[in-house]
């Protein structure tokens, strides 16, 4: 594997950053998880836009223009012969000293990793997940806005540890007002009485790109969608329940805190949305390899 670090490529075993990097010392940085399907990177522009929005929010200067960053991502995929895979794009504040002062970091560090990913087995997509509600509360948006996709994931990790210890495959985080936010690494959807609902952005969630895609698909299918204030009760009594994320795609939930969801198997709408999502990912995205890019260019000219 070849890893991009600040404009150069290194074999995996030689890919290193300084221990004085503030991403390592303080979690001072941002990242994106991006998927490649069938020789194309799905919604790369949206991921890059969100990356730069996160950077602006934390006053982190990225030394590459968006177009240069997109090309760096594509080239990293090419160097690793990625057709179907996962890209982790990480930007830290860079090398500083042992103090907090970000002014000591003169240049940010850019790392791009392109590899394979298999978050859940195919059996989980067929049979669904069992999840629990974590005792760990979602962090205050006023403390760290979740729309910033930062390197500080300790809140999520503490909740994930609870799930691991309880034998659950994922965990739901509730905010301090008692509203459902998201899972440790995915957004949440429920379906009941003809309405597809997902937590509002205002409760403290990362508004995921897969989440946005699912909302688009559902609307195109004529399904009523709502961004709602949901409580644990709403999850318990849902007819269908599924999670969305770049790595997870769309994965069904069949049990939460011992309550069976629907008939205890993935629902019809969940499976339909997953089918439609996978259709889109096969044809939409930024071409990684030149021949695909040329074909697309000729098609646009025609």
- In a domain, residue 301? The reply is no
Q: How many structural domains does the chain have?
A: 2
Mean of the pLDDT values across residues 212-241?
Answer: 98
* Contact assessment for residue 13 and residue 3, using Cβ atoms and an 8 Å cutoff: no
Whole-number Å distance between alpha carbons of 125 and 38: 20
Rounded (5°) CA angle 11-14-19: 140
Look up tokens 């760290």; give the residue.
144
- In a domain, residue 288? The reply is no
Domain harbouring 110, CATH code:
3.30.470.10
Say whether pLDDT at 46 is over 80: yes
Residues 150 and 65 in one domain: no
- In a domain, residue 177? The reply is yes
Residue 148: what pLDDT?
96
Q: How confident is the model at residue 127 (pLDDT cuts 50, 70, 90)?
A: very high
pLDDT in tens, 166-193: 999 999 999 999 999 999 999 999 999 9
End-to-end CA distance of the chain: 38
Neighbours of 204 (CB within 10 A): 26
Residue 296: what pLDDT?
54
The tokens of 45 are what?
A: 């522009």
Residue 28 CB contacts under 8 Å (≥ 6 apart), including other chains: 22, 58, 92, 93, 102, 105, 151
* Contact assessment for residue 109 and residue 91, using Cβ atoms and an 8 Å cutoff: yes
| Maximum distance among all Cα pairs of the chain, rounded to whole angstroms | 57
Residues 110 and 138 in one domain: no
User: Which residue(s) pair with 244 in the sheet?
Assistant: 187, 250
Percent of the chain with pLDDT over 90: 93
Q: What is the DSSP secondary-structure string of 57-68?
A: HTT---SS-HHH
Whole-number Å distance between alpha carbons of 93 and 40: 29
Mean of the pLDDT values across residues 117-123?
Answer: 88
Mean of the pLDDT values across residues 72-96?
Answer: 98
- In a domain, residue 300? The reply is no
Residues 75 and 149 in one domain: no
Neighbours of 122 (CB within 10 A): 8
Q: For 87, left (φ over 0), alpha (ψ -120 to 50), or beta?
A: beta
Say whether pLDDT at 91 is over 70: yes
Mean of the pLDDT values across residues 114-126?
Answer: 91
- In a domain, residue 70? The reply is yes
Least confident of 37-51, 108-122, 280-294: 280-294
Host domain of residue 141 = 122-283
Domain harbouring 232, CATH code:
3.20.10.10
Mean of the pLDDT values across residues 210-222?
Answer: 97
Neighbours of 100 (CB within 10 A): 11
Mean of the per-residue pLDDT values of the chain: 95
Residues 150 and 108 in one domain: no
Residues 68 and 149 in one domain: no
Residue 119: what pLDDT?
84
Residues 91 and 130 in one domain: no
Least confident of 113-117, 118-122, 243-247: 118-122
Residues 77 and 7 in one domain: yes
Residues 239 and 93 in one domain: no
Residues 6 and 87 in one domain: yes
The tokens of 229 are what?
A: 């204030």
Residues 37 and 90 in one domain: yes
């Amino acid at each position: 594997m070849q890893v991009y670090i600040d404009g150069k490529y290194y074999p995996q075993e030689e890919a290193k950053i300084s221990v004085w990097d503030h991403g390592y010392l303080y979690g001072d940085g941002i990242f994106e998880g991006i998927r490649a399907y069938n020789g194309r990177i799905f919604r790369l522009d949206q991921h890059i836009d969100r990356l730069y929005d996160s950077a602006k929010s934390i006053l982190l200067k990225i030394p590459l223009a968006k177009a240069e960053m997109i090309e760096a991502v594509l080239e990293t995929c090419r160097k690793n012969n990625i057709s179907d895979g996962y890209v982790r794009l990480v930007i830290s504040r860079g090398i500083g000293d042992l103090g907090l002062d970000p002014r000591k970091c003169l240049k940010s560090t850019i790392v791009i990793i392109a590899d394979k990913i298999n978050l859940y087995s195919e059996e989980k997509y067929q049979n669904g997940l069992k999840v629990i509600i974590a005792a760990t509360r979602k962090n205050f948006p006023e403390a760290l806005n979740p729309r910033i996709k930062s390197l500080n994931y300790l809140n999520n990790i503490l909740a994930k540890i609870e799930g691991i210890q309880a034998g659950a495959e994922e965990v739901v985080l509730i905010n301090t007002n008692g509203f459902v936010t998201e899972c440790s690494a995915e957004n949440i959807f429920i379906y009941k009485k003809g309405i597809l609902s997902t937590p509002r952005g205002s409760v403290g969630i990362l508004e995921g790109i897969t989440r946005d895609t699912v909302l688009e698909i559902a609307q195109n299918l004529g399904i009523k969608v709502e961004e709602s204030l949901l409580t644990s009760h709403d999850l318990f009594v849902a007819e269908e329940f599924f999670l969305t994320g770049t790595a997870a795609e769309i994965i069904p939930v069949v049990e939460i805190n011992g309550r069976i969801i629907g008939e205890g198997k993935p629902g019809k709408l969940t499976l339909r949305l997953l089918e439609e999502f996978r259709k889109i990912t096969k044809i939409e995205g930024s071409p990684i390899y030149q021949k695909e890019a040329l074909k697309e260019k000729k098609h646009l000219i025609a």
